[in-house]
A = this chain, B = another copy of it.
Amino acid sequence: MTPDLARCVAEAYQVALPHRGQGRVADYIPALAKVDPNRFGFALALPDGTVHAAGDADIAFSIQSVSKVFTLALALRRVGSSLWDSVGREPSGSAFNSIVQLESEQGIPRNPLINAGAIATTDRLIDGRAGDAVIDEILDFIRARAGDDGVDIDRDVAASESETGARNRSLGYFMQAFDNLRHPVEAVTGVYFRQCAIAMSCRQLAKAGLFLAMEGRDPLTGEQLIDPHRARRINAIMMLCGHYDNSGEFAFRVGLPGKSGVGGGILCIAPGQGSIAVWSPGLNEAGTSLVGALALEHFAYAAGWSVFD
């Protein structure tokens, strides 16, 4: 029996709505701290082009670490499996920005979805090019998927990221000390800070992620963006590593691959079915949107889309 997806979206939104405002809004940069904690958007993009949306689904937010999924896809497309020389594919098992494991594993980050691993991935994506060209490629890819040329970088957020980026620079120099960085730290973090500052709405983000649910193909244009086995593997990495040290809990509750960002956004992939984006700024202790994860749990249950049953 096919679930009524529009109803599932509406129900998930309603169930999570009373929890709006719970959790802690990220405050390490002013541009994030001043976001209204009561924002809550939900969008489901389907392969036929339909989008079911609820709440603040058309208000742009800072996607932050959700951007790591897109740069991972682009880096795999550009340098192929050699990416795995620079970064691993295992859960990190500790705090999201910990430098400890990097030490014991000789400068190879555990996976592309923790900060060090995303920096290493961006380093490989750069591949000798100027930072602006790389950012253009990322934006062009996302705009084409979202079908919206308005997707752009929030320059204030990007500037703040750079100003407060000591820890990420430390990670960069640390990998450089292990010869696991091919470009200067400032060049790599220059791209990284900007990719994290991309602003998108739930509607745009859900559409942009749809290719991961469709074996690497853009279902609207039919274009094969990345190889099917690469899409499958990105989903596996999202499932195991997408929420730092909360990945087990997310898999346990939602049962779908996802990636969260400290801006309060989550991109969630239902393989073969669709792509979901949620946004609400209040974070749980592990840095995942509290209301967003709640809505996704209810939606996955209602739609029967958990990959585990």
Contacts and interface: CB of A to CB of B under 8 A. Distances in A.
Q: Is the interface of A mostly helix, strand, loop or mixed?
A: helix
A99 B101 CA distance: 10
Given A99-B174, A309-B228, A251 B240 contact: yes
Contacts of A91: 90-93, 240, 247-248
A236 interface: yes
Contacts of A215: 309
A241 B251 CA distance: 11
B90 A309 contact: no
A223 to B, nearest CB: 17
A308 B271 contact: yes
Interface in A87-126: 88-94, 98-101, 103-104, 110-111
Interface in A158-174: 166-167, 169-174
A110 B88 contact: no
Nearest to A246: B90
Contacts of A99: 99-100, 103, 174
Nearest to A89: B248
Contact of A241 (B174, B248, B272): B248
Interface of A: 88-94, 98-101, 103-104, 110-111, 166-167, 169-174, 176-177, 185, 215, 228, 231-233, 235-237, 239-241, 245-249, 251-252, 255, 257, 271-272, 306-309
7 contacts: A89-B248, A89-B252, A90-B93, A91-B91, A93-B93, A169-B169, A173-B173
